[in-house]
Amino acid sequence: MKDLKNLTVAITGASSGIGLEAAKLFATAGCKVALLARTQDRLASAETTISALGAEVLALPLDVTDESAVTSTFEKITDRFGPVDILVNNAGVGFATDLSTCSTDDFRAIMETNVTGVFLCSRAVLPAMKQRKSGHIINVSSVVGKVTNPNAPLYCSSKFALNGYTSGLQQQVAADKIRISLVSPSAVDTAYWDGRQVDRSKFLQADEVASTIFFVASQPDGVLIKDIDLTALR
């Protein structure tokens, strides 16, 4: 397994759930961790949690759909820790939609976070990765990016788009020795499901998905896990 000590890791959607659990693992491995999320109070709590693990941590509020904010935020990370070695694009939103009645705002909220946000954050780190001929971007997708369902078709569509973007990026930067990975879990017990009448007892847990992200990142430089699906056996 690759030694990740002293590498700079940036994680979007890092204030809770999968993002926070992944941050704990990278911090424990000796990484410098940049926590990025929209909710400032939860972000401050996450920063305290990661700092307690002895890691160097930088917590920055970020809406991944804001182009100028993404640019300035990643500049701050570079100024503090140096260029990003590992980017985990974990931020995402989703909710049930009826395609005959849902609003344009609903469409944009899902697509801009789940697709545009990944594009903007990835673009922010890629030039330095290409210059160094090194780096790893891990995109958190979903099994519904491969087999859709009728309940949240816009969310599913955004994950299909993310998967296509990831595949194209993999091919474009392979010659630069940059690794692009996709992690696709089934339903995960996170805040995504808050307010819905859903039995979560058989869902994946956030720390289980985080451990998969860490496993993908820990592979030797010559090994690329392109796409990994996971589901719970309960």
Domains of the chain (ranges; CATH) run 8-230 (3.40.50.720)
SS3 state of residue 148: coil
Instruction: Say what the pTM is.
Output: 0.96
Identify the bridge partners of residue 204 per DSSP, sorted by sequence position.
188
pLDDT in tens, 60-107: 999 999 999 999 999 999 999 999 999 999 999 988 899 999 999 999
Q: Is the per-residue pLDDT at 194 higher than 80?
A: no
Q: What helix, strand, coil percent values describe the chain, rounded to 5?
A: 45, 15, 35
Interior/surface letters 151-187, b for 16+ CB within 10 angstroms, e for the rest: ebbbbbbbbbbbbebbeebbeebeeeebbbbbbbbeb
Q: Please, is 52 exposed, middle or buried when counting C-beta atoms within 10 Å of its C-beta (0-12, 13-18, 19+)?
A: exposed
As annotated, the active-site residues are 155
